[in-house]
Amino acid sequence: MTTAKQPGGPAGGGPTKSGSWAVWVVVGVVVLCCVGVGVFNSRDGGDDVLPPTSQERRDTVPILQRSSASQGICYGWVLQDYYEYADLSVGSNLGDGVAVEENAACPRWVQVVARVAYTPESSESNDFARVRVETSDDVPASTRLRMENGLERLGLTEDAFVDEPGWAVTRAAVSLPLLAAEAGLVDPAPTPTAATAEPAPLPEAGSDLWRDRWGYLLAAVGLLLFAALLFAAGFWQRSRQRRKGAGGQGKASATAVPARGRTPEGR
């Protein structure tokens, strides 16, 4: 009596286990890819918070230096990434890259701090910025609030920082001296006066007739020369006609003398 082979034996188990392992490997790879994409794209555009250009920083520092020298207070700026809380740009009247906060050279200071955030495209939240004015401890909180409101009055709103963070933070920095004076923190900075240029030397003294009307005089001289030429030509033509007339009369007299010399006796 023969016995039938039972299903599910070792011969059929090999391929089934291999197929299971392949499926799990594919699933694992897909999961890892999804997690990686989510990690790298969790902050789309976070690195696009652009700092001020080198030209903007070079133009800002001298303005802050003049205001600080005249008002006796330091001014600066800080631009940060909201999520990483990393400084993208720092500067002040002491130079590009030099902060005023906790700086021994600046016992009194004012700076604008902007933190810009770019949210993922898949998020329902919008990009935003947080802008505040920070000062040394001797400045009242009400003064800081007035300066922050002054930034919005000058058009440096949160939207401006989102659109052009680098330009906005340097623009806000150069506005701090004006806002500090408006808030009564410092005296207004003196208005720079333009250097007076030396007057141009006067033209050499001379006849106004020759300097202003030389064209008319030249035309008059030409007309006089032309008139003199016409007069000379007419005089020469007249003299020629007279000489010609005098010659004709002489010939006529010579032919008439013999005729008048005949007498009745000579016929």
Residue 228, domain member (yes or no):
no
Does 165 fall in a domain? yes
Say if 10 falls within a structural domain: no
In angstroms, the CA 71 to CA 179 distance is: 12
Backbone angles phi, psi at 114, to 5 degrees: -120, 130
131-186 confidence digits (pLDDT tens)? 999 999 999 999 999 999 999 999 999 999 999 999 999 999 999 999 999 999 99
Q: Is residue 206 part of a domain?
A: no
**Distance in angstroms between the alpha carbons of the first and the last residue of the chain:** 207
Burial class (CB in 10 A: 0-12, 13-18, 19+), 250: exposed
Determine contact, residues 157/128, Cβ cutoff 8 Å: no
What are 90-137's pLDDT values in tens digits?
999 999 999 999 999 999 999 999 999 998 877 778 899 999 999 999
Does residue 172 form part of some domain? Answer: yes
Does 98 reside within a domain? yes
Number of folded domains that form the chain: 1
Can you tell me the distance from the alpha carbon of 169 to that of 48, in angstroms, rounded to the nearest whole number? 15
Give the position of tokens 């505040």.
132
- Domain span at residue 139? 48-182
- Note whether residue 85 is domain-resident: yes
Residue 250 counted as domain residue:
no
Residues 213-259: tens digit of each pLDDT: 556 667 777 777 877 777 777 777 777 777 777 666 655 555 555 54
- From residue 234, alpha-carbon distances to 9, 227, 247 in Å are 148, 10, 20
Q: pTM above 0.85?
A: no
